[in-house]
């Protein structure tokens, strides 16, 4: 059993695999291509990524890859908890520049499917948070881009402020939405 629910931006979906629990814990089939295809998610994932963020308030993002290496991402948390964010970068979309957020945790088992045309990022809400995500295209340094996580025009209610956020140097230098070239129509 697999639950797939649209968010406020319907192309971004919350995917919740069923968990079967007993006194030992639980078992969950987090990805099954056939079951995903039956729900309308027919992506072919080619790479799995794993990140560990040691400190609460670590912000990773907002990241995306342009074509021909644009990626669909399927994100889940295996330890800890995050606020996950997807920003619509599709210029012709009625939701261009808008975002959705979801809390993902090891406890709730929810995943988020972020389609091509979106910037993605997250902020850790617990120490030692581990995030796994599948992507539909290989990493390409020449197609790797970002968006300023704290751009006021985005209006994202991050759980951490600019002075307390733990960021990479790369993420401190990303352009605002108004400065971003058109990558997705």
Catalytic residue numbers read: 63, 133
HSE (CB half, 13 Å, CA atoms) of 162? 8
Residue 55 makes CB contacts below 8 A (sequence gap 6+) with 124, 127, 166
Query: Which strands form 99-105's sheet, in the order they lie side by side?
Result: 99-105, 81-88, 118-124, 59-65, 144-146
CA torsion sign, 13 to 180 to 46 to 56? negative
């Amino acid at each position: 059993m697999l639950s797939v629910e649209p968010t406020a931006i319907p192309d971004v979906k919350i995917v919740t695999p069923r968990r079967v629990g007993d006194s030992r814990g639980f078992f969950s089939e987090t990805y099954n291509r056939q079951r995903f295809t039956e729900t309308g998610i027919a992506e072919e994932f080619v790479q799995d990524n794993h990140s560990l963020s040691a400190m609460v308030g670590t912000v990773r993002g907002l990241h995306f890859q342009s074509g021909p290496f644009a990626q669909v991402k399927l994100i889940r948390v295996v330890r800890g908890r995050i606020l996950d964010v997807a920003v619509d970068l599709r210029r012709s979309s009625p939701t261009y520049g808008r975002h959705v957020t979801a809390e993902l945790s090891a406890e709730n088992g929810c995943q988020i499917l972020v389609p091509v045309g979106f910037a993605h990022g997250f902020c850790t809400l617990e120490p030692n948070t581990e995030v796994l995500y599948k992507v539909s295209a290989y990493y390409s340094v020449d197609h790797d881009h970002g968006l300023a996580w704290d751009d006021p025009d985005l209006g994202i209610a991050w759980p951490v402020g600019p002075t307390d956020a733990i960021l990479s140097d790369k993420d401190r230098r990303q352009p605002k939405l108004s400065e971003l070239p058109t990558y997705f129509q």
